Structure 1
Amino acid sequence: MQLQSESNPALNTVTAYGHDYIEINEVSYGHAVYFAPEGDINTWSVHVVSDITADTLRAIAGITTASIDPLAFLNADAAPQKPAGAPEVLLIGTGNRQHLLPAHVTRPLLEAGIGVEAMSTQAAARTYNILMAEGRRVIAALLPLGEAK
């Protein structure tokens, strides 16, 4: 299905998708990808939803595991700080159907102040294009429609 007839060449835009591909800026990818409005389209090493872990989400959001501060309990009232340059939201396209991600997978990003939304790849592609056009800091991680288990 084609999403947009025109795209801004300066921004990564999902232009179409199908059973075995995702098209970004009119270039077709036959595997899972992740990307932001600017920059490279990256291969995502996830093949099925069950491959998605907290570590894979941290990696695509560009946050590293912080070392544990033994005195952190003293600042229990302090809200977690989002890392500089982190996205506002991470959209996960889970293939042909929506598959919710377990809380232990999304918790590290939510605690860092990054929203995580899992939805079908079709919905994630449309949502990404809207948020990207609004100038929001968003990252999309999309499985092709045929990959979902």
Structure 2
Amino acid sequence: MHLQNEANPALNTVTAYGSDYIEINEVRYRHAVHFAPEGEIHQLDVQDVSDFTAELLRELAGLRKASSDPMAFLEGNTALVRAADAPEVVLIGTGLEQRFLPHRLTQPLLAAGTGIEAMSTQAAARTYNILMAEGRRVVAALLPCKENA
């Protein structure tokens, strides 16, 4: 499906998607990718939603573990710190159908003030374009919509 006629060359825009590809700035990718409105399009080393890890989600969200008291974990204080340019929301495109991420993976991002939403890749692509056009700080991690996945 073609999403728009013209892409803003200054911003990464999802321009189309199909049964086995995601098109960003009119370049087709047949593998999972992650990207923000500005910067490079990166290959995402996942094949399925179950491949997402807490560490990968922290990276996508621009979070790092707080460097505080080394004994803080004893009190349950393992807070994450947001980078100044961290996204407000991370969108996960789960392929043809919506599949949710486990709460144990999303809770640390939510606790740090970063929204995270899992939805079909088509919905995530549309949502990303809307948020990006509004000037929001958003990161998308999209899996292709493979019919047999």
The question of whether the paired residues in 1 share the 8 Å contact of 2:34 and 2:44 is answered with yes
Change in 2 beyond 3 A, CA 1:148/1:137:
farther
The question of whether the paired residues in 2 share the 8 Å contact of 1:83 and 1:112 is answered with no
**1:4 to 2:35 alignment:** no
The question of whether the paired residues in 1 share the 8 Å contact of 2:66 and 2:80 is answered with no
TM, length-normalised to structure 1: 0.89
The question of whether the paired residues in 2 share the 8 Å contact of 1:16 and 1:26 is answered with yes
The question of whether the paired residues in 2 share the 8 Å contact of 1:89 and 1:139 is answered with yes
* 1:34-66 per-position Cα deviation (integer Å, ceiling 9, x unaligned): 000000000000111110111111122222233
61-70 vs 125-134, greater mean Cα deviation? 61-70
Q: Which runs of 5+ in 2 are unaligned?
A: none
TM, length-normalised to structure 2: 0.89
Distance (whole Å) between structure 1 residues aligned to residue 108 and residue 73 of structure 2: 16
Report deviation, 1:108: 1.6
Q: Which runs of 5+ in 1 are unaligned?
A: none
The question of whether the paired residues in 2 share the 8 Å contact of 1:10 and 1:38 is answered with yes
* 1:109-136 per-position Cα deviation (integer Å, ceiling 9, x unaligned): 1111100000000000000000000000
**1:19 to 2:12 alignment:** no
The question of whether the paired residues in 1 share the 8 Å contact of 2:89 and 2:139 is answered with yes
Partner SS state of residue 47, structure 1: coil
RMSD: 2.2
Counterpart of 1:114 in structure 2 is 114
Identity of aligned residues (%): 65
